[in-house]
């Protein structure tokens, strides 16, 4: 069998002229049989009824002149299939705990309207509902992840939704599904029991929510489908470790398939900064917040280990990404922001953290998929573009369901105004065909970093490279210039006596493949 090695080096590039670090980072690959598999669901996405994510994003209606299939844009479907997205979370977010699923089924003209109280106060007509979302997931080849309404819903309502989507026998809900045009169930596996219960999901205490979770989970069952359903608890807000402690202590492991964690990279919640007009100070502190994910995952995992040493309960980081001020002139409730090379660096570093904690992190959802926060796709009427984050997710897809290869190295430091961050993050994996992939992120905004990797034992000799770079860290793809940041051939490496020597510029996205 041919061995292939791809080195995905996701690195930062700045408008200032970079200079090479004197030190060389020596990266060692450990091929150990005990390493876990990187669950493909780490590369999941999130679609909330927020701004133009659903309406005007995914869904334009079947009368639109924009090419669509049953109202869903064909170009978005094609782009997400190219990403091989493994799962998609819906309908929220905060919206989930105001959403009543029965309002979104049946004839569209008979569906009631709803006011989106969380995001802009807009009125929605429920034209995009359960059938539309689950059928779209089938087309994408993605597992649906449904967030249930605990805040304003009932136990019966959520239990009915499970029966409606999953039960093939005769029952009130399966009969209703068939009446609405779907004979076979969708067999939805992933179910969130509420969202951000500590905040918009009800402002609950951890103790109160634990009781609510146990009650709702008791009445959610699926006896027909192999493995049943995975019930996911609303997890902590960033470093609220008490929330994790209380839930792990209060909920039996056999009732808990996953426990969430939410963390956004934000400079300051009172002044989040601009998405494109930012200085190195703004870049550094955004990355400082993003890299805090390592500490959060490590500490939450340690608490989970106390109550679940067998690691049966998955950590699910079902909201992550950068959060800036909205683009000037747009609705502040729609959370529309541009996506620069800074976001590519952030995405690469975060995914490396998840990969390296694959023993516990088994699902994550970038917020959000289209037109909201750190989106991979932006639309403007009939126009559609992909972002630098899209490129990173596409390159990193090689890690999906591959065996983790632990790495060891000592990172150089990125220094700014007396503060420091690790300049390099990395993760590696080996897929079922024997291909090895290594992803690296150079967080440094000014300096080149030299990387040396011993490849003698990998059985690979010939390398090719691809790079994504731009003149400034603040550059982005626009509707006027959608291809400003595109991949190009990269040749800035040498193979010397079984050691791969790479000089990587500040913030560029690099892929090396060796055969």
CA 201 vs. chain centroid, Å, equals 21
Q: What is the dihedral of CA 126, 128, 133, 139, to 10 degrees?
A: 170
Residue with tokens 């779907």: 182
The two beta strands, 377-380 and 383-386, are: antiparallel
CA–CA separation, 341 and 328 (whole Å): 19
Catalytic pick among 124, 212, 319, 513: 319
CB atoms within 10 A of CB 20: 13
Residue with tokens 């608490």: 303
**Beta partners for residue 494, in sequence order:** 501
Structure tokens at 173: 């809900």
User: Which of 433, 414, 337, 394 has the alpha carbon at shortest distance from 511?
Assistant: 394
CA–CA separation, 9 and 508 (whole Å): 8
Do residues 265 and 227 lie in contact, with contact meaning Cβ atoms separated by under 8 Å? no
The two beta strands, 448-454 and 499-504, are: antiparallel
Distances (CA, A) of 378 to 10, 122, 388, 393, 407: 22, 20, 11, 15, 35
Decide if 196 is catalytic: yes
3-state secondary structure at position 238: coil
- Per DSSP, 350 falls in state H
Residue with tokens 């972002």: 387
> How far separated are the first and last CA of the chain, in Å rounded?
11
CA–CA separation, 142 and 492 (whole Å): 37
Do residues 325 and 278 lie in contact, with contact meaning Cβ atoms separated by under 8 Å? no
Do residues 357 and 365 lie in contact, with contact meaning Cβ atoms separated by under 8 Å? no
Catalytic pick among 48, 124, 143, 196: 196
> Which residues are known to be catalytic?
196, 319
């Amino acid at each position: 069998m041919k061995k292939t090695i791809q080195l995905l080096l996701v690195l930062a590039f700045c408008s200032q002229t970079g200079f090479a670090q004197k030190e060389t980072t020596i990266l060692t690959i450990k091929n150990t049989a005990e390493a876990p598999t990187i669950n493909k669901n780490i590369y999941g996405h999130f679609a909330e009824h927020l701004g133009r994510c659903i309406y005007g994003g995914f869904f334009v209606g079947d009368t639109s002149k924009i090419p669509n299939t049953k109202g869903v844009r064909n170009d978005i479907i094609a782009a997400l299939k190219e990403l091989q997205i493994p799962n998609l979370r819906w309908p929220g977010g905060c919206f989930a705990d105001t959403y009543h699923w029965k309002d979104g089924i049946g004839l569209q003209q008979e569906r009631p309207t709803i006011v989106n109280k969380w995001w802009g106060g807009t009125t929605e007509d429920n034209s995009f509902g359960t059938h539309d979302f689950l059928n779209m997931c089938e087309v994408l080849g993605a597992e649906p992840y449904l967030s249930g309404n605990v805040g304003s819903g009932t136990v019966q309502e959520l239990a009915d939704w499970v029966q409606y989507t999953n039960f093939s026998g005769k029952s009130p809900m399966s009969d209703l599904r068939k009446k609405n045009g779907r004979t076979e169930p969708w067999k939805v596996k992933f179910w969130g029991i509420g969202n951000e219960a500590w905040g918009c999901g009800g402002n609950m205490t951890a103790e109160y929510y634990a009781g609510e979770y146990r009650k709702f989970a008791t009445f959610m069952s699926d006896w027909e489908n192999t493995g049943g359903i995975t019930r996911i608890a609303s997890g902590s807000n960033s470093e609220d470790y008490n929330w994790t402690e209380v839930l792990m202590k209060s909920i039996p492991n056999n009732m808990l398939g996953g426990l969430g964690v939410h963390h956004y990279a934000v400079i300051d919640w009172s002044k989040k900064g601009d998405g494109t007009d930012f200085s190195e100070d703004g870049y550094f502190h955004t990355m400082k917040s993003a890299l805090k994910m390592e500490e959060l995952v490590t500490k939450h995992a340690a608490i989970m280990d106390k109550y679940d040493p067998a690691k049966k309960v998955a950590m699910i980081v079902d909201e992550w990404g950068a959060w800036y001020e909205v683009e000037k002139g747009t609705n502040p409730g729609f959370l529309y922001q541009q996506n620069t090379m800074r976001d590519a660096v952030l995405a690469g570093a975060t995914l490396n953290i998840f990969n390296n904690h694959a023993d516990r992190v088994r699902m994550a959802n970038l917020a959000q998929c289209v037109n909201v926060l750190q989106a991979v796709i932006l639309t403007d009427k009939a126009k559609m573009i992909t972002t630098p984050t899209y490129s990173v997710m596409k390159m990193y897809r090689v890690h999906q369901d591959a065996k983790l290869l632990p790495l060891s190295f000592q990172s150089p430091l990125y220094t700014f105004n007396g503060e420091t961050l690790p300049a390099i993050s990395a993760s590696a994996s080996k897929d079922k065909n024997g291909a090895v992939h290594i992803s690296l992120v150079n967080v440094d905004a000014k300096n080149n970093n030299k990387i040396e990797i011993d490849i003698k034992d990998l059985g690979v000799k010939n390398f090719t490279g691809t790079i994504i770079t731009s003149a400034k860290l603040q550059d982005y793809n626009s509707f006027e210039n959608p291809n400003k940041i595109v991949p190009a051939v990269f040749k800035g490496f040498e193979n010397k006596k079984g050691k791969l020597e790479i000089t990587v510029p500040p913030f560029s996205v690099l892929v090396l493949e060796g055969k």
